[in-house]
Chain A
Amino acid sequence: MNILAYLIPISLVMGGVGLLFFIFTVRTNQYDDPEGNARRILSGEYDDKPKS
C-alpha cells in the first residue's frame, strides 16, 4: 500500500495541472468564438511564424 504515497500526490498534481491549464484558456478568451475556431482548422492559411 506504500505505492499510494506516490500515486495519490501524482494524481492530485496532474489534476491540478489540468485545472491550471483550463484556467489559463479561460483567462485568454479562448472560448469566445468556438464556431470560428472549429472552422479555422479547415482554412488553407498557415501561420507558421508568429504574427507581428
Chain B
Amino acid sequence: MTATMRPNISACPACAAAPAAEALAEQEAQKDVRIALSVPAVHCAACIVAVEKALANHPGVESARVNLTLKRATVEAEPHVMPQDLVKVLEGIGYEAHELDAGTLSATETDKAGRELLMRLAVAGFASMNVMLLSVSVWSGAADATRDMFHWISAAITLPTIAFSGQPFFRSAWAALKNARLNMDVPITLAILLAIVTSLWETSLSGEHAYFDAALALTFFLLAGRYLDHRTRAIARSAAEELAALEVPRAILLVDGEQRQVPVAEVAVGDLVLVRPGGRMPVDGEVAEGQSELDRSLLTGETIPVYAGPGLGVSAGEVNLTGPLVIRATAVGEETSLHRMADLVAIAESGRSRYTSLADSAAKLYAPGVHILSALSFAGWYLYTFDVRTALNIAAAVLIITCPCALGLAVPAVTTAASGRLFRKGMLIKHSTALERLAQVDTVVFDKTGTLTAGAPELMNLGQVSTRDVQVALALAEASSHPLSQSLVKAARDAGFDPAEVDEITEVPGYGTKGLWQGREVRLGRASWLEAPTISRTAAWLKVGDEAPQAFEFIDRLRDGAEEAIAALKAAGKEVYLMSGDTTAAVEEMANRLGIPHWLAEALPADKATRVQAMTDDGKRVLMVGDGLNDTAALAAAHVSISPASALDAARVASDIVLLGHDLSPIGDAVTTARSAIRRIRENFRIATLYNVIAVPLAVAGLATPLIAALAMSASSITVSLNALRLR
C-alpha cells in the first residue's frame, strides 16, 4: 500500500497514448511527491507539534502539515520516501497512522462548490451591511434629494451583488420552471426580482419605500442556509471518501515469475495475481497455485474459513488467511461479482430518492400558496385603486414578507447541529434525508458477522482442555498467523500458560501446523486434516500422536456496545431482528446471548433483501445494520441503513450512515437524536408559519414598510437558528 500523490499523472488520461508526455509527467513527479496520512488520534496542540516534528525530522521530508479538522497529515517529500516508513515513524511516537490513496482523495481536495457559495455569501453580507446603513438613515428621517441619493447608491450596490450572489437561486428556479415544476427557489427568485424592480421604479419616481435592503438580506440569509447544508454534506462526503481511500487498490501481478505491484484496474483476465496471507482478493479468479484458507464472511456471512486449493473459484473481496495463493483472473473490474453486487445497489438507491424530505413537502405547500396570495393582493389592490404602482408595491411586499428565510434555515440549521453531534459520537451522516428517515424507524434488522461481532474469534473452552494439550497447542499456534491460532495464543498467554517444547514446527498452508513433541507428531489444524468429527462451532483441533483429537472451540467476539445498542433500541420500543448467512446454531446462540427474539439463519443475500422488502410492504420502517456484500441489497432496500467503517466499500456506499468507531452503542443515541432533530424542524416550521400569520395580513393590507420587513425577516431567521441550537 502506497499513497504517493502524483496528481500530474493521474489527471492525464491521454498520457498513455503519448509516451513522451508520460515521461515528462514522470520527471515532474520526481521533484515533488505528496503523501497523505490519516492520523485519527491527533486532537490537541501538542499532538500537532509532535506529529509535524517527527515527520519533518524523517530524512527526505521537506515539509509536513497536520490538518486537525480532517485528522490528516500532508507530507511533501523527496520521491524515495515511502509512506510505510512515515507510518512507522508516527507509530514510533504513539500515533496510529494509515496511508490514504491519492486517487480517491484528490476528488475532495478542493471543495469548489463550497468555496463559491462562501464567496457569494460574503459578497451578499458585505453589500447588505452597507445598504442597511443607508436604509437606516432613510428610516430615521432622510428626505427628498438625500433619500433619493441614498436609494440610488443602494441600487448601485444591490444590482451587481444580486446578479452575482443570487445565481444559485436563479439557476435552480429556472431549472424547475423549465420542467414545469415549482420549487422553493421560484418564489425566492420572484421575491428578489420583484423587490428590485419595484424599488427601482419607486426610486426613479422619488418614492418613499425601497426594498433593496430586504432583497439583499433575503439573499444573505438564504445563502447562509445553503452554505450550512453544503458544509454538513461536504464534511460527510470527505470523511466517507477518506474511508474509501484507506483501501489502496493494488494487486501483485506475477509476470514471468517476477512480482510487480500494479493498480487493480490494470489487471487483465488471464493474469496471474499473488495474494499474500491477510490480503484481499482483488479480482474474481481461480486458484492456480498454493493452498490456504479463505475468509468469506464479508460475502456470505459464514464465519468458518473455507479450504482453498488449486481449481477453487474465488471472488473479489474474500480474504486469504494462511498461505500465499496465486490466482488466475477470470473477471476484473466491473465484471467482478463485487461490482455486480454494487450495481444492484445503484438500482435500489434510485428507489430511495422517492422519499420526499420535509423541506420539499413544505415547499410544495408554500410555493403555490405564496404566489396565489401575492397575485390576489395585486388583483385586489388594482381593482380597488386602478393604480399599477400601488398594486405592484403591495404584491412585492407580500412576497418579501412571506419570506422563506426562516423556511430556508429551518432544516439546514437543525441538520447541521444534529450531524455535528452525531459526528462527534462517531457517526457519519452521508445522505441528506437520512436523519428524517432514521426518526421514523420502528424495526431494526442486524447482520451478525462483522456487524454484531467484531470478526475476531474468541476461545471458549480453555478451562476444559488439559494443561498438556494447551501447552502443545500454544507452541504450535505461535508459529502461525491464522486468526484462530492468534486468538488461541492470546487466550492461553493471558491465562498464564507457557508453550511446550515442540521441534520442527512447519505450517501446512490450508490445513494447520505440525511439529514433533517428545518424539511424537503433533498437529493443530482443521477437522478434515485430523480426521476429527465436524461440530457446529468454529473449532481448531489438536492431535497428539495417535490420541483422539481435542477440540478448541471458538466463538465470535461481540463488538463493543452491541449489547447496549440492542438494549437501547428495545427500550425505545423498536422490534429487533437478526439475519445472517451463518449456520442456524451460531445465529441462534447469538440471538439468545443478546436477547433478540426474531432471527433468521442461513439467509442468502436475496433472502435478506426480500425479507426487508416484505417488512416494508407491511408498513414497517426498517433500519438495516450490516457490513458485508451479502447485506448490500438489504441495506439499499431498507428505509434507512447503517454500516460500520470496517464494512466493504460496496456496503458503505449503500448505507446512509457510517459508524466510524468500533463501538455500536451510538446507534441507540442516533435514533434518539434523529427524533429530537425532527421535532426541532417541525417547531421551526411552526415558528415560520406563526410569523407569517402575523406579518402577511399587514402586507396584504398595505401597511408593511421596508423597516417592518427587515425586522420581521431577521427576527424569524434568528429565532429559527437559535431553536436549532437547542438540540440535545
Contacts and interface: CB of A to CB of B under 8 A. Distances in A.
B69 interface: yes
B694 interface: no
Given A15-B126, A19-B122, A19-B126, A43 B69 contact: no
B48 A26 contact: no
B364 to A, nearest CB: 35
A16 to B, nearest CB: 8
B122 A26 contact: yes
B69 A33 contact: yes
Given A11-B130, A15-B126, A19-B122, A33 B68 contact: yes
Contacts of B66: 36
Given A19-B123, A36-B66, A26 B118 contact: yes
B372 interface: no
A51 B126 contact: no
A31 B118 contact: yes
Majority SS of interface residues in chain A?
helix
Nearest to A44: B49
B133 interface: yes
B338 to A, nearest CB: 34
B133 A11 contact: yes
A1 B148 CA distance: 14
Interface string A16-52: 1011001100100001111110011111110000010
B467 interface: no
A23 B69 contact: no
Given A23-B122, A39-B68, A12 B130 contact: yes
B44 interface: yes
A43 B129 CA distance: 36
B67 A15 contact: no
Given A1-B146, A19-B126, A36-B69, A26 B133 contact: no
Interface string B226-258: 000000000000000000000000000000000
A9 to B, nearest CB: 10
A43 B49 contact: yes
Given A31-B118, A32-B69, A43-B49, A15 B129 contact: yes
A33 B63 contact: no
B70 interface: yes
Interface string B42-68: 001110110000000000000100111
B347 interface: no
Nearest to B157: A12
A36 B119 contact: no
Contacts of B157: 12
Interface residues of B, number: 24
A44 B452 CA distance: 45
A35 B28 CA distance: 33
Contacts of A32: 67, 69
B115 interface: yes
A18 B126 contact: yes
Interface in B12-54: 44-46, 48-49
A1 B115 CA distance: 41
Contacts of B118: 26, 31
A35 B69 CA distance: 5
A4 B146 contact: yes
B69 A26 contact: no
A35 B68 contact: yes
A36 B122 contact: no
A11 B153 CA distance: 12
Nearest to A23: B119
Contacts of A42: 45
B30 to A, nearest CB: 21
A36 B129 contact: no
A8 B44 CA distance: 46
A36 B68 contact: yes
A42 B44 CA distance: 9
Contacts of B44: 39
Contacts of A19: 122-123, 126
A45 B50 CA distance: 11
B677 to A, nearest CB: 23
Contacts of A36: 48, 66-69
A34 B45 CA distance: 13
Contacts of B149: 4
B123 A26 contact: no
A26 B48 CA distance: 23
Nearest to B111: A32
A43 B146 contact: no
Nearest to B134: A8
B234 to A, nearest CB: 11
B85 to A, nearest CB: 23
A51 B63 CA distance: 9
A16 B157 CA distance: 11
A43 to B, nearest CB: 4
Interface string B119-136: 100110010011001000
A31 B668 CA distance: 34
Contacts of A34: 69
A4 B119 CA distance: 30
A33 B66 CA distance: 9
Given A4-B146, A26-B119, A15 B45 contact: no
A32 B231 CA distance: 12
A45 B618 CA distance: 63
A39 B45 contact: yes
Contacts of A40: 45, 48
A22 B658 CA distance: 35
Contacts of A33: 67-70
B599 to A, nearest CB: 43
A15 B119 CA distance: 15
Contacts of A12: 130, 153, 157
Contacts of A44: 49
Interface string B77-97: 000000000000000000000
Interface of A: 1, 4, 8, 11-12, 15-16, 18-19, 22-23, 26, 31-36, 39-45, 51
Given A8-B153, A36-B69, 12 more contacts: A1-B146, A11-B130, A19-B122, A33-B67, A35-B68, A35-B69, A36-B48, A36-B66, A39-B48, A40-B48, A43-B49, A51-B63
The 9 closest A-B pairs by CB, nearest first: A36-B68, A42-B45, A39-B45, A33-B67, A43-B45, A19-B126, A35-B69, A35-B68, A33-B69
19 contacts: A4-B149, A11-B130, A12-B130, A12-B157, A15-B126, A16-B126, A22-B126, A23-B119, A26-B115, A35-B69, A36-B66, A36-B67, A39-B45, A39-B48, A41-B45, A43-B45, A43-B46, A43-B48, A51-B63
